């Protein structure tokens, strides 16, 4: 596939890209001369079993193969031998032997249906020897899950282009969130991108349409988050006291870019930390839920009239260290339902405004 022209992104200071990221997000971070790779256990992986971690990142590695590597001591956690049933802690370092890097990102599978292969190729905003950047549409899941059979990860075989290694997701977006999604074409590229994410050498800007006009019109939301069960058995992220046992610090910068009367505001949003549903929870918590976000905004977030009752949250741009050096900057156009809303409300979808001044530090 021929490389596509890189597009300028809205600038901002380095942040970790969307929290709940996963094939290699906050994980693989360096490779030595012998091909041994180390991986850092990410924030959303604390407490899971070691064998589950491997199923998540290396589904092509069978349980028998993993047990053999464990018996030989080729997989180690913080330098110590481990068992498949051991639980992981955030920040621990996993030693991965050279043969791990030669595995495909997933078990061999049939090529995606023709229509899916065409879709994934049409989503490519940027392509080079090491990276794809996709514009994920709203409503398409990033990875499989309960009851999900159609997702981005399942379509990536169409982007192998004759290479032995299958492209790997570098992070995720919620199913109903659209926008920039990075896919690595090689293990070293995934490792480099993960390093950039882990050290916040990346900036990701979201656009959102919210109910009402936030005051002040630019600011920082600092609310710790924790996962809680709600009636019906569903789990949600909720604001909590920062000293609560399971609380995770969460910081979100926002800037109003446009208003429509007193009813709606167009926000540029930059998550300084990366927590599950962070943007959605934070904006709902200050009384300005994202349009279409019934999970956190309830009926107050419903779209009305010609404004679609769908989530109006879009990963607009990415600025990240490129594996080959320099910067990768890509901007994703709005999805159809948000483009219609922007035109209806008189907002400029092509603005190049740079809403955020660089931070001196990005402490969670």
- Answer for the pair 26, 38: CB distance below 8 angstroms, yes or no: no
- Answer for the pair 310, 140: CB distance below 8 angstroms, yes or no: no
168 vs 132: CA distance, rounded Å: 10
82 vs 349: CA distance, rounded Å: 51
The catalytic residues are 174
**Structural domains of the chain sorted by starting position, each given as residue range(s) with its CATH number in brackets:** 28-199 (3.10.290.10), 204-345 (3.30.2350.10)
Per-residue pLDDT tens, the chain, 364 aa: give them: 444 433 322 222 222 223 333 333 334 444 444 678 888 887 667 678 898 888 878 878 888 899 999 999 999 999 999 999 998 887 889 998 988 866 655 444 456 678 889 999 999 999 999 999 999 999 999 987 767 778 998 899 999 888 878 898 888 899 999 999 999 998 788 888 888 887 778 899 999 999 999 999 999 999 999 988 877 778 899 999 988 888 999 999 999 999 999 999 999 999 998 888 999 999 999 999 999 999 999 998 999 999 999 999 999 999 999 999 999 999 999 999 999 999 999 999 999 888 887 665 443 3
Whole-number Cα distances in Å, 26 to 41, 44, 307, 326, 342: 7, 10, 37, 20, 34
CA 292 distance to own-chain centroid: 20
User: Which secondary structure element, helix H or strand E, spans residue 204, and what is its range?
Assistant: strand 202-211
Strand partners, 178: 314
17 Cβ neighbours under 8 A, 6+ residues apart: 25, 170, 171, 182, 197, 202, 204, 274, 318, 320
């Amino acid at each position: 596939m021929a490389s596509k022209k890189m597009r300028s992104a809205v600038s901002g200071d380095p942040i970790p890209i969307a929290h709940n990221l996963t094939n290699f997000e906050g994980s693989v971070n360096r490779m030595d001369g012998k091909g041994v790779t180390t991986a850092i256990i990410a924030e959303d992986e604390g407490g899971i079993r070691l064998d589950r971690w491997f199923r998540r990142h290396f589904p092509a590695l069978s349980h028998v193969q993993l047990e053999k590597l464990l018996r030989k001591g080729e997989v180690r956690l913080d330098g110590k031998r481990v068992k498949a049933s051991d639980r992981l802690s955030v920040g621990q370092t996993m030693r991965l032997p050279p043969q791990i890097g030669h595995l495909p990102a997933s078990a061999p599978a049939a090529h995606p249906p023709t229509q899916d292969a065409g879709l994934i190729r049409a989503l490519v905003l940027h392509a080079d020897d090491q990276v794809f950047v996709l514009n994920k549409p709203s409503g398409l899941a990033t990875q499989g899950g309960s009851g999900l059979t159609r997702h981005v990860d399942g379509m990536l075989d169409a982007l192998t282009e004759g290479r032995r290694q299958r492209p790997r997701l570098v992070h995720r977006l919620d199913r109903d969130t659209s926008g920039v999604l990075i896919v690595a074409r090689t293990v070293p590229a995934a490792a480099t991108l993960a390093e950039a994410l882990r050290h916040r050498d990346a900036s990701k800007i979201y656009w959102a349409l919210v109910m009402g006009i936030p005051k002040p019109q630019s600011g920082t939301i600092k609310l710790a988050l924790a996962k809680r069960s709600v009636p019906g058995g569903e789990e949600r992220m909720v604001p909590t006291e920062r000293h609560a046992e399971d609380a995770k610090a969460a910081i979100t910068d926002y800037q109003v870019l446009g208003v429509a009367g007193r009813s709606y505001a167009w926000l540029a949003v930059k998550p300084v930390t990366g927590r599950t549903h962070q943007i959605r929870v934070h904006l709902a918590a200050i009384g300005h839920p994202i349009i279409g976000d019934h999970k956190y905004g309830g009926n107050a977030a419903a779209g009305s009239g010609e404004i679609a009752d769908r989530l109006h949250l879009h990963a607009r741009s990415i600025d990240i260290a490129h594996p080959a050096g320099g910067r990768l900057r890509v901007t994703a156009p709005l999805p159809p339902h948000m483009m219609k809303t922007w035109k209806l409300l008189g907002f400029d979808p092509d603005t190049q405004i740079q809403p955020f001044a660089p931070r001196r530090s990005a402490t969670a």
